[in-house]
Chains A and B, each alone.
Chain A
């Protein structure tokens, strides 16, 4: 258990630093690359949480597909790829008290409701078979809805982005 805690600590520090760089750095491409670090750290945390299938999906979908979309979006919407001064709102400092207040309230609520509760240590990895039994059993209707959402998103993105 100690090894897992050490791994959690290292990955958590990397994730928080990466996330802070995503929202503070003055270069869109660098922000996207820091976001890759955060997403990879999240995949590692999923493995610590015994969710290997979700971790692999995270790597495939987020680090593979979504980051390529972000880099293409950056490339297509900006002439220069270097630093830019105009990435923040003029009133960006209002975000600091808002997010700190939210963080304080959330940490207070979490510590008061979960305290020192431990995760079960004898749990096995959740097998892909168990997940698919859930998706194609009780969650079949949301799965269909999700398929239509993806179809609508693909068609909508093509319709929006094509040139007439």
Chain B
């Protein structure tokens, strides 16, 4: 197995996630795209852990999984709050703070 096949797979997933963050209007869909991005980072960490023969990449991957879980919890609570106040979770309608 080449190193690059994992890194390029991760790059493809990362770019699909970036497209989702830019293109999606629904806040839940944007959070899903962020999950895609975080997973691609995890694949990179584990590929480099295998390449360098170290365990540090595994530790960082576990930390990323934990931080992603916390992020989804707080993010969905925020989305719920926005929905309760606005009856909509379309991100382009949240423009009160526009200067």
Contacts and interface: CB of A to CB of B under 8 A. Distances in A.
Contacts of B7: 110, 114
A154 interface: yes
B19 A120 contact: no
User: Main secondary structure on chain B at its contact with chain A?
Assistant: helix
Contacts of B77: 156-158, 160-161
Nearest to A73: B76
Contacts of A98: 18-19, 22
User: Main secondary structure on chain A at its contact with chain B?
Assistant: helix
A117 B80 contact: no
For this complex, into which size category does the number of interface residues on chain B fall? 35 or more
7 contacts: A49-B6, A51-B50, A73-B31, A96-B19, A117-B51, A119-B51, A146-B67
Contacts of A16: 9, 12-13, 16
Interface residues of A, number: 89
A154 B73 contact: yes
Interface of A: 1, 4-5, 8, 12, 15-16, 19-20, 22-23, 28, 31-32, 35, 38-39, 42, 45-46, 48-51, 53-54, 57-58, 61-62, 65-66, 69-70, 72-74, 76-78, 84, 86-90, 92-96, 98-100, 102-103, 106-107, 110-111, 114-121, 123, 126, 130-131, 133-135, 139, 142, 146, 149-150, 152-154, 156-158, 160-161, 163
Contact of B14 (A53, A90, A106): A106
B49 to A, nearest CB: 7
A89 B49 CA distance: 38
A133 B84 CA distance: 45
Contacts of B91: 89
A45 B8 CA distance: 13
B94 interface: no
Interface in B1-51: 1-9, 11-29, 31-33, 35-36, 39, 42-43, 46-47, 49-51
B15 A102 contact: yes
B17 to A, nearest CB: 7
A116 B23 CA distance: 34
B74 A77 contact: no
Contact of B58 (A51, A72, A121, A152): A51
Contacts of B65: 54, 57-58, 61-62
**Most central of A119, A121, A154 by chain B CB within 10 Å:** A119
